[in-house]
Structure 1
Amino acid sequence: MDATILHPQSDADVVEAIRDALAEGAPLGVEGTGSKSGLGRPVQAARTLSLAELSGVTLYEPEELVLSARAGTPIAEIERLLAENRQRLDFEPMDYGPLHGLGPGLGTLGGVLACNLSGPRRIAKGAARDHVLGIKAVSGRGEAFRSGGRVVKNVTGYDLAKGMAGSFGTLAVLTEATLKVLPAAETETTLAVRDLDEASSVQAMAAAMGSSAEVSGAAHLPAYVAGRIADGTLGDAPATLIRLEGFGVSVEARAAYLSAALSRVGTLERRDGEASAALWRNVRDVRPFVDGTERPIWRLSVTPTRAPDIVLAVRMRMAADAFYDWQGGLVWLRLEAEAEAETVRAIVAAHGGGHATLVRAAPTVRAATAVFQPQPPALAALSRRLKEQFDPRGVLNPGRMG
């Protein structure tokens, strides 16, 4: 076994590993299976703390809609267990592995929460942090702690549990998490409006989201993107996708209502059941840009109505492909050449502001780029205080967040 990779079997092993690292002045890289190691800057550590063997569901009470699992538990394993009981993780966590040249289904619970991942249902159900009830973790001081509880009404320490989400393993090592789970939809359908330009698609998605149809997904795939998903079944024409989920009778009624409205703006197609689910898995996992390269990919969180103008401005400066999720509030942007951080962020700022995160690039590019959106001074000061409280000596994932 590689001595530079530590494989803790318990929380106590994690505590010991961090205390050893502190004593030796040897920082640790923290990972599950490494499926998200391409996010953030390259970690500057000689040893890796792998949580892959700290795995397994420790509590599942379907009737109480609560599940607890250790950090290294594969998300795929959790989703299979939930599916057996017709339940799901409502925040629809994306799988970054294929985008970074790895196989699908490698992501772990700890990694999903550390990166605060969520998919197309984010606009209706919230992000990963909104579904966390409690955590167990070990700080960069080598101190084990817990926050939150196992039931929704127990909110003790809830903000701390949420605060660990999105910290990319730089504050503490998550060892276990408790999540709320929800019943899976009985059925789903996707209405695909064809041939809309990007500005018109954003208007159509906004109208659908603002209707009484209870939309759970809204995405737009330009012509050069649509043909790259779901085995090409969408063809090469632009597709604006609207997803409806729930009980069969309800979905049919809402689909009929929304179809009448959307058919006025474009040709309408429909995908039901698994055909619909396959489309949204592809959107969730950014499959149009899974190309086996390290061409830079940016994740832009912007005002939905400004998204088409942002993409147009980027294209006027450089060669780029893009598609839209979250009603246009999330833009996936693939560049053909350099990462162009200053240019991309200047364009976003000039169109109402937002966040631009570099989610794929060669390690040398990530090492030399401000991967995450620079924080405003007040928020940066708060982040520094949190770091000083939880990991004052910078022993966990040094360099990852710059």
Structure 2
Amino acid sequence: MAATVSGPIGRSLKRLEDGRLLRGEAQFVDDLRPERCLHVSLLRSPVASGRLAGVDTSAALAAPGVVSVFTADDLVGSCRPLAVHLTTPGAVSPERPILATDRVRFVGEMIAAVVADSRYLAADAVELISPDIEHLPAVVTFEDAVAESAPVVHEAVPENIYYLGHRSYGKVEDAFERADVIVEGEVTHPRVAAAPIECRGVVASPDGDGGVVVWTSTQVPHIAADAIAECLGLERSKVRVVAADIGGAFGVKAQVYPEEILLAWIARRVGTAVKWIETRSEHMQAASHARDQNVKFSAAVREDGRVLGLRATIFSSIGAYGIRPFGPLLDPLGTAGLMTGPYDIRDYEYDTYAVATNKSPEGPYRGVGMVTAVLAHERLMDLVAARLKLDPAQVRRVNFVRPEQMPYISVTKHPYESGDYAAALESALV
């Protein structure tokens, strides 16, 4: 007897939200107007690396409309740092303070929070705070991070290496011994940042029963709720996170930010709703960036252009902290796993380094790991063609995974469900 389908399971569904959005009835974080809502503005570090000796908040506290000013000292005992809880062997990711304590590690790191009657009064008061910062040498590039006697971003991260991963698949040495030529190359992908129309924003309110409700522009509400409960020492049932309409994200909102923890803490501390809406300049400084990678590769190649084996060394500038829930591993492992791309390369090995730098933390952005990997393996195909004086299209043809190999499992265990890469190439060449 045939099964009958009822409800949404197994059915193709039409989009449900379009009409409401087109009529201007969306509700983004900044559209929320809780009663007696106070506004938060944040003092952020103007330097990439420094020792924070103190923060003078007296002038800000005396400013019109200011209710409170908070620094890291106020959080002691009631708000824990944001932890990542890595399970990957060999990886480290230091806890991230919600407000900077004795060190600042990137431009945009939060130092203090002003709570005031309006957003503008809060922003004005932030300008009156005087942080005492002793500038320290900053680690900016991959080369800086791993150089001898390099400044250390975290004492808990010796040699500025969050993670070093090595994997070897197949018989790489044998492939290089059989090669007619060895082709080497290098690509660098610059650091990039997502720019959603809606920047980040948080509204938090005590729920009257010892808990807190947090409205935030996030792609991971459940993960955010877990982190808020953990940092504030609350039972998970005491934290409710609401992600209503999101004005774009592209991955930059697929993590937990310290601002979400801080606003929840402030709401419980002042006993009323509080709101923080990120400015575009804040977003470019303090929201996560992506990529910032360098790949050096070496390929064992047959005279007809067939790649027999591949070695890659990948450096990823992770920034000042790993992020929750991914730690420092997203791009380093993503790029390493996708280096072979649409090409049937079965003998492959890599070393991938996640390095600490004095930059905004690195996080997800569209095509995590894939974009740099594509840049590398397509550059490889062009270099092979140039070295052997072959047509670049023909080099790709002899290396593609063939349709009859589908479904295909790459050497790094990525499943390829279907595809005819040669046909796609031919259509592009017409």
TM class, shorter-length:
under 0.3
Greater CA radius of gyration, 1 or 2? 2
TM-score, normalising length: structure 2: 0.22
TM-score, normalising length: structure 1: 0.23
More helix by share: 1
